[in-house]
Structure 1
Amino acid sequence: MSQKQSVRINPVGALSDVSSIFEIRNHGLSQKEGNKSTIRTVSRSARDEEIIRNSGLFDEEFYYNTYPDVKIAQLDAVKHYISHGAAEGRCPNADFDTGIYMEIFRREISPGENPFSHYIRTDGKTFYSSRGMLENYSHASVHKAVSRMEKLALFNADDYIAMNSDITTSNVCPTRHAVIYGISEGRSVLSGKHLAKTMGRLAQKPAVLPDIPLEASVKKRDLPYTIGVLHHSSGNVFIRDIAKALVDQLNQAGLNALLMDETYPVDKKPQLCIFCGPHEFFFLPGSDDWKKDEIIRRSIMFNTEQPQTQWFVRGLIYNLMGSGIIDISFQNMELFSDAGIEGLFFSPPVDVAVRKLSPEDQTHSLVRVLPLSCRKEANPKLPFSKRLIDVSFFGNHTEKREKFFARHAEFFSDYKCFFYYRRMDGPIAEGKMYGILSRLAGYVASHSKISLNIHRGNEQFFEWHRIVAQGMACGSVVVSEECLPHPLFTAGTHYLTESTRHIPNLVEWLLRSADGKKEAARIRSNAFSRIMNGQQAAENQKRLLQFISSQWKIISHDR
């Protein structure tokens, strides 16, 4: 090897022994010069070590498991990688291939510099294929997303390969492929069978909110001065409602929160951003300016989607890359927390209040089909017996719902029903045609004796804000299929559950028997008590403050 030849790639793409490079460079120098060179070498190694350790990207567990000789020798993994591992073609984590990187950037890497250190140091200036279709985001964010995906119980690598047989020829591990290619390509990422098993296990566990420590007070200095809760202006109107509910909670807690959308100037963004419905926000037009690594990694994502949907999968990229996550599903929050993402369960509060429709709403075709007496203001305290609508339902078409309503159409024809059920592929956006729906659902529920909850599929997902909680707040009795456990609402206490086959029997019993009407009164009373529980509301607000404070400590140090 000549003195000028500083790097050699072996047949498998590994870097030759780095130490030999330094020895060749010192050959023929005086002892004094040699010592100086040695000092420079040690300094470079120390600098590489500092860069690699501070990045948090070196996976010691991976290194020891992949190279057991290092573990057996009880060597420090990072030091070994710098002094010998890189030269031998060993990799610092499952995502970074030392040999491939050296092949691509051998001319850019300084003599003697560790390739992984170079990768970290020059992030954003060099392109490396390890980021796949996420090349606009830093290697740190992509690595974080892949690491979290590996721990996310909803994902199964074997199922991913089975659903995408063409990737078996890829040299990228399936978890990484799913994150950097699969989600963006619209592939099948989460298998229905594995989802059912995972959620089935969670269904066996009680949903219990953690206790709040007595010393849990949060100081203002530990909180951001400004918070923006962002939704997309062309997105689902119900997402906007949830975003507004969070803004109201933050402001009631003494914070300075603002409801924003994608048109807000990015250069004037608040200190902390919370993106409500990332599956919508980052995919609908006009949000490109917000798709920046420095924004995503320092923001909180507010997931509102169910795991079995394509929208949940689409939003996973941002849920995995963000700082923390808020979720309306207790089970989703637990799954994200187990994957290493600090999470908060947030149930949007609902008001027990008289509901009114505007004069413009009164002219809408969906209102004109209501009985005249139901077009006036709706009082949630209206007695069960005086409500003129027997059963109401709001929801989009699914195969499961189609079978339910087709099978029981004759039964419901004997009752006064209001069923908003239609096929719709895109979001229910604000506007003259559909904007009324968020108001109408609560308005109709306040005139209904029973609010039906039929799940989209067989996943037992708790239908949270619009159907269950809002139905309770409007004074109707929620009749639902069995749901996943909820920390605030309990089946048999705040709402009633039954199989789809026997839901008509339960409805008939509630509407036509004395015992059923007595049970309806009990359920309504319990639901009102839970929703209007001041202590519960105060505890939820404390949890929200604690979460924002803990996230802000992380984000404010991420410069």
Structure 2
Amino acid sequence: MPPNLIEIFGCRNHRGSRVMFPLKWKGRTGKKPTRNRGRLSLQRASIAIDRLSRFRFFSASDYRALHDDLGMMDPAVHFIGYGGDERRKAAIPTHIARTLGILQAEPLAPYRGRKDAPQVLTIGVFVSSLSDPFLRETSYAIATLMRRAGHQIIMADEKSEIEERPRHCIYVAPHEFFFLGNGPAWVRDDVLIDACMYCTAPAHRSEFWHSLHVVLMGQSVITSSRPVAVAFSEVMPSINVIPSVVRDGTMPSETATLEHPLLSGQRWWEDAERPLDLYFFGSASPHRARFFAKHSDRLSNYDSFIYLKKSTSPNKTGGTHFAGAFPQVAQHIARHSRLLINVHRDEFPYFEWHRIVDQAMINGCVAVSEPCFLTPEFQPGIHYLEEETHRLVALAEWALNDADGRDMMAAIAAAGQAAIRDRRSERASAQMIADVLTT
């Protein structure tokens, strides 16, 4: 992080300077390009280089300033060939923040499918077998959305036979699919030329940049983040879609969910329809730890379920079987809670679909969130509540204790339920995906 960066959010680096947020990306690695051409040996690399040079989140000047071993090599060429795989930092945080702010207000160009495209597509929805359980939920949601629109769906992972993939494929969370397990074997020209990437990582996270060079080699992009979709749409077909939350029988039974160690032996949900006032269920981060530590006294006045999982710690809850059941546990808690407190992983806004929509809205729970990037389908004050971080608990207290607040909660819960069951919106989203797959 440059020592003269003095921005706004209150984290401090080892020099004592205020920094925007604590990214752990690599700066200067000391590595120099070798005779190994890396990703440049792929035919799709030239397309990715051209796209990256026009991609507004990437800063060639920042990249050259951060890495003094490029020599005469063009920054875009170096990042596609080597820097992405070396997880090099590609832009300073202020550039990313400024770009996000600008893109939020810009329109997203629509894409239309080919006129000769078949009415019913056979679509492969791929997700890594080693993916986070919540990302697998996203893949099921995309599959459900397209299946309900009449398309044929094949669910698969990186262990599937590459040659047997269908013509149209969506790769959910490319930062995991193409890099975990057998995923690297799929980074080949004949796969990437038709690949539709469902990007789930926010633009300010290192995961986004770790896979960007591969994403740019693909055919198209889907993302639930509108600013990210706008940025991609300037260089390749890209759409902003919130997936369906209609279940299709893939969920474990309630009995199996209650066997999870976080719920086993408890029966607090039998006391009332919604015995919990509020809950949070997610991974731990410094930002979240500071928030809950600061407000622990006020939150202790309410019946709550707050679970912060350290993603780097060993699994203490019974192995991979129980780890995979985390989404169902979160669903069960949401069904018995009045409010969801949505605290972002860091100081950057982001619309967390899996928490605000897939947990809260579908279960009649009201999300009270830090500010999110706007999404056309769901609006703050109508489908969820939104407030700045330092006033978030006060808003939750108003919603729980004040008569007007309780009325507002009832209206928002009803609006959320209506929005996620709007078949017109669902059909429009499915059509956009079909269009971008056949562009």
Specify if TM > 0.5.
yes
The alpha carbon displacement at 1:252 in A equals 2.2
Unmatched runs of 5 consecutive residues or more in structure 1: 1-127, 377-384, 551-559
In structure 1, the partner of 2:67 is: 164
Q: CA deviation at 1:261?
A: 0.7
Cross-structure match for 1:180: 81
What TM-score comes out, normalization by structure 2 length? Answer: 0.84
The higher radius of gyration belongs to: 1
Shift of 1:217: 9.5
1:517 aligns with one of 406, 409, 426: 406
Could you say what the CA RMSD is over the residues aligned between the two structures, in angstroms?
2.9
For 1:305-316, list aligned pairs within 5 A. Answer: 305-316=201-212
Choose the corresponding residue for 1:454, options 343, 356, 366: 343
Question: What secondary structure is seen at the aligned counterpart in 2 of 1:306?
Answer: coil
Secondary structure at the residue paired with 1:229?
A: strand
Q: Distance in 2 between matches of 1:494 and 1:521?
A: 11
Query: Does 1:256 pair with 2:152?
Result: yes
Cα deviation 1:309-354 (Å, max 9, x = unaligned): 111111212210001111121221111001x210122211113999
Is 1:271 matched with 2:158? no
Identity over aligned pairs, percent: 29
Which amino acid in 1 is paired with 2:75?
Answer: P
CA deviation vs aligned residue, 1:369-404 (integer Å, no higher than 9, x gap): 75x14269xxxxxxxx94101111112121111110
Match of 2:92 in 1: 191
| Aligned match of 2:223 | 327
Alignment of 1:132 onto 2:37: yes
Q: Which residue matches 1:380? A: none
Separation of aligned partners in 2, 1:278 and 1:403: 30
Task: Choose which of 372, 375, 396 in structure 1 pairs with 2:283.
Answer: 396
- Structure 2 partner of 1:479: 368
What are the within-5 Å matches in structure 2 for residues 460-539 of structure 1? 460-539=349-428
Q: Distance in 2 between matches of 1:533 and 1:541?
A: 13
Query: Counterpart in 1 of 2:23?
Result: none
Q: Displacement of 1:297 after TM fit?
A: 1.9
Partner SS for 2:320: coil
Equivalences, count? 404
User: Which consecutive unaligned segments of at least 5 residues does structure 2 have?
Assistant: 1-32
**SS of equivalent to 2:350:** coil
How many Å apart are 1:224 and its aligned residue? 7.5
2: CA distance between counterparts of 1:349 and 1:427?
32
Q: Deviations over 1:478-503 (max 9, x none)?
A: 10011111111111111111111111
Structure 1 counterpart of 2:211, one-letter code: G
- 1:443 and 2:327 are equivalent in the alignment: no
**Counterpart of 1:344?**
239
- Residue type matched to 1:516 in 2? G
> 3-state DSSP class of the match of 1:462?
coil
Q: 446-455 vs 223-232, which deviates more?
A: 223-232
CA distance in 1, matches of 2:420, 2:126: 26
Instruction: Tell me the distance in 1 between the aligned counterparts of 2:210 and 2:36.
Output: 17
Question: Residue 293 of structure 1 aligns to which amino acid in structure 2?
Answer: D
Alignment correspondent of 2:28: none
Q: 1:288 to 1:190 in 2, by over 3 A?
A: same
Report if aligned partners of 2:144, 2:247 keep a CA contact under 8 Å in 1. Answer: no
Say if 1:225 and 1:526 are closer, same or farther in 2 by CA, change over 3 A. closer
**SS in structure 2 at match of 1:166:** coil
Per-residue deviation, 1:131:
8.2
Distance 1:341 1:217 in 2: 14
Distance 2:421 2:209 in 1: 35
CA distance in 2, matches of 1:207, 1:446: 36
Cα distance in structure 1, aligned partners of 2:369 and 2:107: 18
In structure 2, relative to structure 1, the CA distance for the partners of 1:130 and 1:492 (3 Å cut) is farther
Q: Distance in 2 between the 1:421 and 1:453 partners? A: 12
Distance in 2 (alpha carbons) for counterparts of 1:444 and 1:217: 41
Greater helix share, structure number = 1
